[in-house]
A and B are shown apart, each in its own frame.
Chain A
Amino acid sequence: MKRTVFGVVAAVLLAAAASAAQTPSAKQTRPYKAPRTADGQPDLQGFWTNSTYTPLERPDGVTKAIYTPEEAEAAIKLAVQRESAQTEPGTTADVHYDFSQFGLDRSQSLFVRNLRTSLIVDPPNGKIPPLTEEGKRRTAQRAEDAKKLGGRWDSAESNQLDDRCLIMAGPGPPMMDAAYNSNYQIVQPPGVVMILTEMIHDVRIVTLDGRPQPDAKVRQWMGVSRGRWEGETLVVETTNFNGKNPFRGSDENMKVIERFTRLSDDTIEYKFTIDDPTMWTRPWSAESAMKKTVGPIFEHACHEGNFGLYNTLVGARLEEKRQAEEALKKGSK
């Protein structure tokens, strides 16, 4: 418990130091006060993106927490190149549509620039902390269970969650860059903050009326979120996860604490702390931002148009048939 408090304090201090390094102009003037909604809440409404090239964990070989502006630019340039790299025509990898051609790679839209080398600010090494003994056991068990389901193309159920149109990286919590279309809309009537994620139209309705979490038997993919205002900051606590969409190896006991603070007209600071004592030896925290973008959010009817899943399964069965026939031919020779 003490460690949790220490971790959070350390994260806040580090984050403060880092944002000072990152946005000096915002810190020189007096603190920004967000516009208010009609009922007096700090107004977070509008369209936002958290698209970023900054990785969650610090890359191996990088030892500092904050890049110089030149180093940050170089890192982004490298990431852009990697992202828009062309696949070789005629290979399996080339079957996927071209991200850069359809404007889906991050560099063709607004993305959040950051001098950080990682979104993780605590532990100070920018890495997810070590697993507990129970965490190691559960991770091994999960791999074992996945193996039993078979290979990726053996069935719909053995494929990835995003290919199945079940859930993507955007809604979280924590809300992460979704590789493309990392767009959100926030609407705030009295007593509620609604966050719509473009990817698979996932909605979080954060209640602000102090109600308790539901019974532990009520478990959801996105958990259940309860929020409160602490001055200019919206604090959201989420529990009751079902554990089916592990965040970097988390489990159903994960508690996510998010902090949304509007730093300027076009920026919301977004911090989160992951507390999952079953899995990790200590809580860990990250910091990112949401930049104001333009609407509207389009309907992402993912499952309804999921020809990809259907066609890859058909393809895999045809390939098996072809191989079986070939083997039979060889055997008869």
Chain B
Amino acid sequence: MRNRLLIGTTLALMAGWLLPVLTRVAAQAPASPAYRAPRTPDGKPNLNGIWQTMNTANWNIEPHPAGPSPARELGAAGAVPAGLGIVDGGEIPYLPAARKKQQENYANRLKLDPEIKCYLPGVPRATYQGMPFQIIQSTKHIMLIHEFAGAVRTIYMTDQTEAPADSWMGWSNGRWEGETLVVDTKGFNDLSWLDRAGNFHSDALHVVERFTPRSAETITYDVTLEDSKVFSRPWKMSMPLYKHVERNAQILEFRCVEFVEDLLYGHLRKQPAK
């Protein structure tokens, strides 16, 4: 009895000590400062390639347990896998009204999630939505080509301007800070979400992403999100990106408009004459 208590306490203590350490390691995934990426012909760290995340953030960027599928017919195939979360500190610092809105979004997610309607995924959701994306890197422009809905981002490295209009994928200007590509994105509309759990932002969203090569086949992806209409302070998320090393890897078409027409417009179909 005493032994069991002792073991239990020790385990609890260990867990109590280990968990924050593990979480911190996972959350920060520090790039080895010694790593120097191969260079492009113009001397910049070479990020060209096809990349993908390996986490369950698209289901919920906050820590979450496994749960049932929101669509009954899909059973276990559509069920939600658990996740440790990618938000620094675990919880998004919502303003009180915004947390309430997120909860409403969650309750109505089958009707409201823009992903279900094949809408452009926004930023940073496009990165961890679960499908691969290709970095096409040149001196003036770095393109991010996403498989989901064929979403495209242009990062202006030289001819930088303010966002000319609001858009789904925002307006991105980039710069190199040593080994790190820093991308500053504004000019969002308020229509995209951050995940399938109804986490959201407004048109005041300002995203700063940092892509730091940490090995030949991984990049540390750190993001700061700021949105004074929705969050009480700026907050961070972090995760690794993994490179596709298959020789024949390529971005394929996922032209999902075709797959959602019946869902969006089926009720407006002409009915046979009675």
Which residues in A have some Cβ–Cβ distance to B below 8 Å?
37-39, 45, 150-151, 153-157, 164-167, 185, 187-192, 194, 196, 200-203, 205, 207, 211, 214, 218, 220-222, 224, 295-299, 301, 303-304, 309-310, 313-314, 316-317, 320
Does A205 lie within 8 Å of B48, measured CB to CB?
Answer: no
Q: Which residues of B contact A301 (CB under 8 A)?
A: 119-120, 167-168
Does A320 lie within 8 Å of B270, measured CB to CB?
Answer: yes
Query: What is the number of residues of chain B that contact chain A, defined by CB distance less than 8 Å?
Result: 47
Does A164 lie within 8 Å of B138, measured CB to CB?
Answer: no
Q: Which residues of A contact B23 (CB under 8 A)?
A: none
Q: Which residues of A contact B138 (CB under 8 A)?
A: 37, 45, 187-189
Q: How far is the CA of A150 from the CA of B265 in the complex (A)?
A: 15
Segment of B54-62, B80-88, B197-205, B254-262 in the binding face: B254-262
Does A202 lie within 8 Å of B42, measured CB to CB?
Answer: no
Q: Tell me which of A45, A156, A211, A310 has the highest count of chain B C-beta atoms within 10 A of its own C-beta.
A: A156
List 11 A-B residue pairs with CB atoms under 8 Å apart, sorted by A's residue number: A156-B268, A165-B257, A187-B136, A187-B141, A203-B143, A203-B145, A205-B134, A296-B156, A301-B168, A304-B120, A313-B269
Q: Which residues of A contact B40 (CB under 8 A)?
A: 38, 189-190
Known: A150-B270, A187-B143, A317-B270. A203 touches B152 (CB 8 A): yes
Does A190 lie within 8 Å of B145, measured CB to CB?
Answer: no
B137 in contact (CB, < 8 A): yes
Known: A187-B143, A303-B119. A220 touches B167 (CB 8 A): no
Does B255 lie within 8 Å of A167, measured CB to CB?
Answer: yes
Chain B positions 245-274 with a Cβ under 8 Å from a chain A Cβ: 247-248, 250-253, 255, 257-258, 261-262, 264-266, 268-270
Known: A205-B250, A218-B252, A297-B154. A189 touches B168 (CB 8 A): no
Tell me, rounded to whole Å, the shortest Cβ–Cβ distance linking B122 to chain A: 11
Identify the closest chain B residue to A220 (Cβ).
B253
B191 in contact (CB, < 8 A): yes
Identify the closest chain A residue to B134 (Cβ).
A205
Q: Which residues of A contact B65 (CB under 8 A)?
A: none
Q: Is the interface of B mostly helix, strand, loop or mixed?
A: loop
Identify the closest chain B residue to A313 (Cβ).
B268
Tell me, rounded to whole Å, the shortest Cβ–Cβ distance linking B219 to chain A: 16
Q: Which residues of A contact B159 (CB under 8 A)?
A: 295-296
Identify the closest chain B residue to A39 (Cβ).
B41
Identify the closest chain B residue to A194 (Cβ).
B136
Tell me, rounded to whole Å, the shortest Cβ–Cβ distance linking A78 to chain B: 35
Q: Which residues of B contact A309 (CB under 8 A)?
A: 265
Tell me, rounded to whole Å, the shortest Cβ–Cβ distance linking A259 to chain B: 22
Other A-B pairs beyond A156-B264, A194-B145, 9, CB < 8 Å: A45-B138, A153-B270, A189-B136, A190-B40, A196-B152, A299-B167, A301-B120, A310-B265, A313-B265
Known: A187-B138, A194-B145. A299 touches B169 (CB 8 A): yes
Tell me, rounded to whole Å, the shortest Cβ–Cβ distance linking A35 to chain B: 13
Does B41 lie within 8 Å of A38, measured CB to CB?
Answer: yes
Identify the closest chain A residue to B187 (Cβ).
A299
Does A317 lie within 8 Å of B119, measured CB to CB?
Answer: no
Other-chain contact of B42, A38, A165, A187 (Cβ < 8 Å): A38
Other-chain contact of B255, A166, A298, A310 (Cβ < 8 Å): A166
